[in-house]
Amino acid sequence: MGTTATVLALMPGTASAEIPPNDSRGGNTSGSLSDGKLTSNVQISGDKRAPGAAPKGFATATNWTPPACWYEPRSASEFQAYVEASYDSTVNYPGQHSYAKQAVSQFRDIYKDGKYKNYNLDKASEGAFWVSVQNPDRMNELAAFSCSDLPEWVPNGTPPPFRQAITPEMLAQAAYGAIDLPATRVSLAPADNTKVNLGTWAWLDKNVFEPKSVTATLNAGGTTISATATATPASVRLKAGTQDATLHPGSGECAFNPGGGAGVPFTAGSENQTPPCGITYLRSSGNGTFPLQASVTWNASWTGSNGQGGALPSGTMEGEPQNVTVQEIQAVNR
């Protein structure tokens, strides 16, 4: 293993980014040192998931994942504090192996009195050190370690020499990965208990199923960029839970209305009408139930602070089964 690889293996040179940030007030991040690691300066705001929460039931149409790691800037003083704290914690740790102390010393020497002098503090206003950070949602994946280059000083106005240097498009992907989408559960009428050959109306509330947006912003080391990802509900697909049913419409896919929401809420007097979105069951569920299931397709797009933008992969939020009891209509003999 070469010197660079050894240093990277033993130094906390790849930091943990909080995406979404671990801050209930709505934003990370100070870019400060925490447990020997720099947290990301990316801030997440908007309709974001709670820290550590996974988007249960959501899957993109393609095999898409948010970025596993990237490079972002640090001021000379921030980088100095990071390296010195890492050095002190390593060499002063009781029982630390000599090779670990040697590796962290080699890393420190690069920036203190080697390729760089005193962390370029005398040039602090002229540029920044670009360092790698990991997306914590993907920290256990091999891809999270692909940002393995040592930190580099980049003068102001010079493109960073890293393929995975943070861009508005990457921020948009991180923002999309943090969007909090509502669980899919359709309202039904009759609710949960219906009759054979009676149209069951299904709809989604427009106040819940509406466009959701998250903005990711980076303001660090002389770099200020941002991007907003927006997911918009497009359609809801119904599965009756049995072949003995008629879907409305026949495809089982109900488009969202121009004014929001999908389907039409049931109103008194509509009992004999065919629901624009719903199901007619053709047989009884007997002593059991039919597991009706709904899924919402969300289309996504992004806009960046650099004027760029475009589409993001669409995805589907699969709902949990909704158990529906279907009974025969009892005839009355007079």
* pLDDT tens digits for range 7-21: 444 444 444 433 333
State how beta strands 309-318 and 290-304 pair: antiparallel
Question: What is the predicted pLDDT for the residue at 21?
Answer: 31
Say whether pLDDT at 219 is over 70: yes
CA distances for 88 relative to 77, 85, 95, 105, 302, angstroms: 16, 5, 14, 10, 42
Q: Is the peptide bond before 224 cis (omega within 30 degrees of 0)?
A: no
Tokens of residue 51, six digits: 């820290």
C-alpha dihedral sign at 73, 75, 78, 82: positive
Tokens of residue 272, six digits: 């004999």
Provide the residue type at 224 as one letter.
T
* pLDDT tens digits for range 180-201: 999 999 999 999 899 999 999 9
Rounded Cα–Cα distance for residues 170 and 70 (Å): 8
Rounded Cα–Cα distance for residues 178 and 23 (Å): 13
Proportion of the chain above pLDDT 90, given as a percent? 72
What does the DSSP 8-state code read for residue 144?
G
The residue whose two tokens read 């089982």 is 252
Question: What is the predicted pLDDT for the residue at 5?
Answer: 41
* pLDDT tens digits for range 64-88: 989 989 999 999 999 999 999 999 9
Question: What is the predicted pLDDT for the residue at 331?
Answer: 52
Partnered with residue 215 across adjacent β-strands are 45, 228
